[in-house]
Amino acid sequence: MIGESPWRQVMRFSEVSRGPVTKRLEADEAARAKIARHLDLVSIGSLTADLKVRPWMDGVEIEGTFSADITQTCGVTAEDFEETAEGEFTLRALPPGSPNAPQELAEELELDPDADDPPDLLEGEDIDLGGYVVEHLSLELDPFPRAPGAEFLAPKDDTDLSPFAVLRLLKKDDAPE
């Protein structure tokens, strides 16, 4: 994860050492307001996530699903509208100093779009589950939100809107009579 999480819900690697842990996260009103500001949303009415965290190598694998009732501003009508954002994700995270961490290569790196993402290498023993939920919620949001049924209608004005249209008008004024 990059940057500071607006909703820290932390667990430690040691909590998963004996086996899978199931967590249900539900953001309270203050957390939802902070997340909405972070994601540039009007508001978030609810945000819940169900996560299963299990051991993976010397780190963890997190499988999660989430659902959020959000209010956004339509990019066409500039009116607020509500919708539900849902998603699921799977990711892996490793503790600092893990021998299983991907090694950085000095040469060119080839990326396979069908391959699994490399595991996150965390800075400490804390796993910010809320941060991962917010990160994946942000990936589900349309960067150009449009309310259902909203359509952009081009102006029906037939006038030439180019900068050269003004020059043509000036030229007509200077014409000899």
Following DSSP, what letter does each residue of 17-60 receive, concatenated?
Answer: TTS-EEEEEE--HHHHHHHHHHTT-SEEEEEEEEEEEEEETTEE
Whether 83 contacts 101, CB under 8 Å: no
DSSP conformational letter for 118: P
**CA angle 167–170–175, rounded 5-degree value:** 125
- CB contact at 8 A, 66 and 44: no
Give one DSSP letter per residue of 152-165, joined into a string. -------S--SHHH
Alpha-carbon distance of 51 to 133, in angstroms, equals 9
Determine the pLDDT at residue 63: 97
In the prediction, which pLDDT does 108 show? 62
How would you classify the pairing of strands 80-94 and 120-121? Answer: parallel
Residue 153: count other Cβ atoms within 10 Å of its Cβ. Answer: 6
Q: In tens digits, what is the pLDDT along the chain, a chain of 177 residues? A: 445 789 999 999 889 988 899 999 999 999 999 999 999 999 999 999 999 999 999 999 999 999 999 999 999 899 999 999 999 999 999 998 888 887 765 566 677 788 788 899 888 889 999 999 999 999 999 999 999 888 877 767 666 567 777 777 777 655 555
DSSP state for residue 104 in the 8-state scheme: P
d(CA 42, CA 49) in angstroms, rounded, equals 20
Partnered with residue 87 across adjacent β-strands are 66
Pull the structure tokens for residue 95: 């503790």
**3 state DSSP class of 130:** helix
What pLDDT score was predicted for residue 158? 60
Which pLDDT score is estimated for 177? 54
Distance of CA 27 to the CA centre of its chain: 16
> In the prediction, which pLDDT does 173 show?
58
